[in-house]
Structure 1
Amino acid sequence: MGVPTLLDVRRAVASSWRSRPESTISWPDPHPDRAPLDEEYSRVTDPHRYTVVGARVRSWADALVALGLAEAHPTADDGVRLIPAAPGALPLHIGVRSMEGAPGTVVDLLVGDPPIEIGVLPDCGCDACDSGSADLLEAIDEQFVGVMGGGFVLIDSERSRIIAWSDGWSASGNTGDVAAAVAAARRGERRAGQRVLVGASWWSCAAPA
């Protein structure tokens, strides 16, 4: 068997997910056709339903290990550190913590060695920011594909931060020309005072036969 493709990875994640009891937890967007109410911004109605976050992330980790794309090492924060097999791919540290006392409901994602944080899932668990379980699971999957699918760039300094994927970017601070900075990082150019990480794909980018 050759190197797995993204399609293989998604199938393995889906299979692992179906085996977990959390896969039966789902809820609709609580306000699909209206703006959130003021009181929803300070309220978390059911933090335990966010156990889908920790379970979905574990499904990704299990799938990557099962396909031979990574080795998993437990961490002190009840998470796991995934070491990719592919040359040039960035290690991913997954930290798991609690929301409102409910364990396994918040995940911190960090890349590199030493690791640097790139995201929190969910980014907010209040009722106002809740858009339903389907959107949340999709956001988790997109985060993993963005980091692992090739084209990932992190440019971090005291004044700014840029995170780029193959199909977009986000930035904060005094970044200057973001597109030019990302292109330079991918060419291997580095500037003093910046930490730059460029990640190769964890899997084959070949189209499935």
Structure 2
Amino acid sequence: MDEDSIRTALQAAFAVTGAGTPGWPDPHPDADREIDPAEYSRCLDPGKYRILAARARAWMQALSELDLAEVEAIEPTEAASAWRQGASQTHSPAHSPTHAPTRTHRLRPHHPGALPLLIDVHGFDGLKDNAVTLGAGEPAVLLTHVPVCGCDACDDGSTLLLEELDDAVLDVITGAFTHVDTPHGAVQGGRGGWQAEGGAGNLDVEQLLEQARTGRCPHPAVHGTRWW
């Protein structure tokens, strides 16, 4: 098993789950073009973001068919308890979302020491399934939510959105995802680098992440092995 095999399985699953949710190009290809201020307060087609829920379904199908994880449905009344509570919610990465989920699934990997992946589908602008939030661990800390903003001004096309979702999932299943809670804020690392909230960015972040990955971190940490 390797990342290429997983991506191949994902694309095969997405050909089915995404058949009714086409992608779209970047509506602002000219970086120097002035954006209409009205675009910041509107989303003319919120339904197109359902492609994200379709991608999430493809991930669940692919990882299940590859026998890397078992998919567990979580009742809406129990979804809040699936997230870790009690930390700063004002910066990213925060611990838990504040939306009401439409459906939530936990992917529990078979490999010992691997982190569960939480997939939470919700909505905006009157829809219930055009946004996705991902978490890691049990209870889960927040990985990412897409779209971060659904306004027309922030729309960069579907390709970047799908890449963001895919990268977050791959961080977990490859064992790259690492989360550390410090007294100054949270730090998260993955395949593409790290991010920090509050004053945590002034710490030796690389050292903290390495300590977390080797079980030597002095602070609460979330890290796991790869899924295969």
Comparing 52-61 and 166-175, the one that deviates more: 166-175
- Shift of the 149–48 alpha-carbon distance from structure 1 to 2, 3 Å rule, reads same
The 8 Å contact of residues 148 and 201 in structure 1, kept in 2 or not, is answered as yes
Q: Which has the higher contact order (CA 8 A, sep 6+)?
A: 1
Q: What TM-score do the two structures reach when normalised by structure 1?
A: 0.88
Cα distance in structure 1, aligned partners of 2:19 and 2:66: 22
Q: Rate the CA distance shift 1:180–1:23 in 2: closer, same or farther, 3 A.
A: farther
Equivalent residue, structure 2, for 1:61: 60
2-structure distance, mates of 1:45, 1:120? 20
Aligned ranges 1:80-119 → 2 under 5 Å: 80-119=105-144
**Structure that is richer in strand per residue:** 1
Partner residue of 1:164? 189
Partner amino acid for 1:41?
Y
Cα deviation code 1:30-50 (max 9, x no counterpart): 111024332211111111011
Preserved contact between residue 9 and residue 62 of structure 2 (Cα < 8 Å) = yes
The residue that corresponds to 1:74 in the other structure is: 73
Q: Whole-Å Cα distance in 2 between the matches of residues 159 and 37 of structure 1?
A: 38
Question: Following superposition of structure 1 onto structure 2, how do residues 117-132 of structure 1 map, counting pairs within 5 Å?
Answer: 117-132=142-157
- Which amino acid in structure 1 is aligned with residue 29 of structure 2? P
Classify the secondary structure of the residue corresponding to 2:128: strand
Please provide the CA RMSD for this pair: 1.6
Letter in 2 for 1:143: A
Query: Helix, strand or coil: the match of 2:5?
Result: helix
* Mapping of residues 1-209 of structure 1, within 5 Å: 4-22=1-19, 24-33=21-30, 34-77=33-76, 78-157=103-182, 159-175=184-200, 176-191=203-218, 194-203=219-228
1:12 maps to a residue whose letter is A
Shift of 1:5: 1.6
Q: Which consecutive unaligned segments of at least 5 residues does structure 1 have?
A: 204-209
Alpha-carbon distance in structure 2 between the residues aligned to 1:130 and 1:111: 26
Per the alignment, in what secondary structure is the counterpart of residue 140 of structure 1? helix
How far the C-alpha of 1:21 sits from its partner, in A, is 4.8
| 5+ long unaligned stretches in structure 2 | 77-102
Aligned to 1:60, the other structure's residue is in SS state helix
**Scaled by the length of structure 2, what TM-score is found?**
0.81
Task: Give the total of aligned pairs.
Answer: 198
Task: State the identity %.
Answer: 37
The code of the aligned residue for 1:69 comes to L
